[in-house]
Amino acid sequence: MGAYIVKRLLLIIPTLFFILLINFVVVQIAPGGPVEQAIQQAESFQGVGVAQGGGEVAGSNSGLKYQGARGLSDEMVAKIEAQYGFDKPAYERFWIMLKGYLTLDFGTSFFKDKPVTQLLWEKMPVTISLGLWSTLLIYLVSIPLGIKKAKQHGLLFDKSTSLLLAVGYAVPSFVFAILLIVFFAGGSYFQWFPLQGLVSENFENFSLGGKILDYFWHMTLPLIAIVLGGFAGLTYLTKYSFMEELNKQYVLSARAKGLEENRVLYGHVFRNAMLIVIAGLPEALVGIFFVGNLFIEIIFNLDGLGLLGFEAIQQRDYPVIFGTLFIFTLLGLILRLISDVLYQVIDPRINFDARGAK
């Protein structure tokens, strides 16, 4: 197992390199980059002067390189390029970025004027709060529910809860979030919960108990929305994993020996059935942390990593885009490795080294 872990850790390096390279190339050729946006802002600022007396720069050659830069001089465009580092060739910018990444220096945001590491550190608590609590709640709901549905497959409980699962599977989390706001956050009915933010404005003045209550008061609606939109898939996965195991020969043999049903279920079936659930944990965590929480962060005005990455893509803020991409990718690769290790811990019969796994 040790050799397998070392091999997987070494594979993280080229994986991160090629992912960053591909995304760097794609982003570089995408229109509307930071230079173009800065030019548009400068054009808007100088619009009156250009219209009244700035015609001497209207025929500038800068417009040949950047569409919409015909109202700016070549010197102004060159200053804007230097400001964002675009006065250097693409390969040199990529090399500078890689050298910085070796020391976890992701550069400085083009538009927020802060180091990317500082921005990531500031946004991390919100995303971690949403991700950890929602994942914990989803697993606490889905696994017992899936096991019970497997035990009572085809009976009243299974059929009645299938409607609930169908709704949860079909309706995305952000729709539940909007409905919760309408009903419980001052929309049209009750105002039991705050509309936005992770804590209250006077949070620092609260006692320790008051801070904990205030935190969970703000987290209630976002967590309910995420759980309602995310528990159905895991419940179905748990149910059918257990159903598949319950029909196997070793279960029939255990029952024939007179073992109690709970001992058969939790002593024999549980370990095998949970393998597929654990295998999907990394993707579930990454999805909940950085994809499923995006709209939740926007709707409840929670300033986390998902919202930061979304704004960076809109603004073509390349340092933030690549910094968040690097963190997301690294976390996903590490979680996948942890999943494989847990695989062998739960079922020692699995030996990745013997199978030549990579």
Return the CATH number at 218. 1.10.3720.10
Nearest to 241 by CA among 276, 280, 267: 276
Given this model, what pLDDT does residue 353 score? 58
Give the torsion through C-alpha atoms of 146, 152, 157, 159, to 10 deg.
90
Burial class (CB in 10 A: 0-12, 13-18, 19+), 344: middle
Identify the domain boundary among 90, 108, 138: 90
**Cβ contacts of residue 303 below 8 Å, gap of 6+?**
122, 123, 126, 297
Q: Which of 49-58, 149-158, 348-357 has the highest mean pLDDT?
A: 149-158
Per residue in 40-91, pLDDT (tens digit) is 655 555 554 443 344 433 444 444 455 444 555 566 666 656 655 666 777 7
Could you tell me if 191 and 76 lie in one domain?
no
For residue 4, is it within any domain?
no
Enclosing domain of residue 72:
31-90
d(CA 311, CA 328): 16
d(CA 115, CA 53): 39
- Type of residue numbered 243: M
Number of domains the chain is built from = 2
DSSP one-letter code for 48: H
Contact 328, 290 (CB under 8 A): yes
Could you tell me if 212 and 251 lie in one domain?
yes
Could you tell me if 311 and 230 lie in one domain?
yes
Least confident span in 116-120, 131-135, 163-167, 194-198:
194-198
Could you tell me if 246 and 130 lie in one domain?
yes
d(CA 165, CA 45): 54
